[in-house]
Amino acid sequence: MNLKVYIKSGILELFVLDLLDAAERAEVLNVISKYPVLEKEVQVIEDTLQSYANSIAIQPSKSLKAKIEASIEESVKESNMDLDHLLLISEHSDLQNWLKLVNKYYPSAFEAENFSEVLRSENGVTQVLVVSSTDIADETHDDVHESFLILQGQCRCTVGSAIFYLGPGGYTQIPLNENHKVEITSSSPVMAIAQYVSV
């Protein structure tokens, strides 16, 4: 085997980048085991790529690290919450945690055209489990911050002049004094956690 040609072929770079299929990877490993000089070449490629990555790396801000740590901490708390100790929903809320919490309302929640159950109402915070087959008409709030987390189904949201779609796991927060409406776009009802926090 002409090792210079093999090295120049680029196959070792593809090997290091894990871009080979299983058969090609096995073949390269076999060749490396026969020719130890190729193992050194692989190490040079890895070191070069690492040096390049380090040269273009962007140091994350301290605030980003704090946000990530807070998000992880919130996720752990959320996975341990129960109906007597609900957390506020946010863009980091885990769909599966909330589905587990409200499963006791199945299937009755889907038997009516519209269903709502207050899960929490204290200290200016109200959280409601909502299941709806019908659109939610235009409304505006000047006394509460409204947000919702979609658990099942899909909807089209119009907030002011913005239009966007939400499905399971989708979250949005409605600005104060902003006209908004929700249209059901799925064949099945939308199930959501609606949250209202007093100003």
Q: What secondary structure does DSSP assign to 29-90, as a single string?
A: HHHHHH-HHHHHHHHHHHHHHHHHHHHH--PPPHHHHHHHHHHHHHHHHHHT--TTSPPPP-
Residues 6+ apart with CB under 8 A from 10: none
Same domain, yes or no, for 122 and 42?
no
**Helix-strand-coil percent breakdown of the chain, rounded to 5?**
40, 30, 30
Question: What's the structural domain count of the chain?
Answer: 2
Half-sphere exposure of 98 (CA within 13 A, CB side): 27
Same domain, yes or no, for 141 and 192?
yes
Same domain, yes or no, for 90 and 177?
yes
CATH number where 191 lies: 2.60.120.10
Residue 76 domain-assigned (yes or no): no
Domain holding 16, by residue range, is 3-56
72 CB burial (10 A radius; 0-12, 13-18, 19+): exposed
Of the residues 18, 40, 56, which one is the last residue of a structural domain?
A: 56
Q: What distance in Å separates the CA atoms of residue 185 and residue 187, rounded to the nearest whole number? A: 7
Same domain, yes or no, for 184 and 98?
yes
Give the model's pLDDT for residue 58.
Answer: 86
Residue 32 domain-assigned (yes or no): yes
Give the model's pLDDT for residue 74.
Answer: 75
pLDDT < 50 stretches in the chain: none
Q: What distance in Å separates the CA atoms of residue 146 and residue 100, rounded to the nearest whole number? A: 23
Residue 171 domain-assigned (yes or no): yes
Residue 131 domain-assigned (yes or no): yes
Give the model's pLDDT for residue 184.
Answer: 95
Of the residues 16, 41, 56, which one is the last residue of a structural domain?
A: 56
Residue 69 domain-assigned (yes or no): no
Give the model's pLDDT for residue 53.
Answer: 92
Give the model's pLDDT for residue 89.
Answer: 94
What's the whole-model pTM score? Answer: 0.65
Residue 77 domain-assigned (yes or no): no
Residue 67 domain-assigned (yes or no): no
Give the model's pLDDT for residue 198.
Answer: 94
Same domain, yes or no, for 115 and 47?
no
Same domain, yes or no, for 22 and 102?
no
Residue 72 domain-assigned (yes or no): no
CB atoms within 10 A of CB 91: 11
Same domain, yes or no, for 119 and 161?
yes
Same domain, yes or no, for 152 and 189?
yes
Please tell me what DSSP assigns to residue 142: S
Give the model's pLDDT for residue 59.
Answer: 83
The string of pLDDT tens digits covering residues 36-89 is 899 999 999 999 999 999 999 888 888 888 888 877 787 778 788 888 889 999
Give the model's pLDDT for residue 162.
Answer: 94
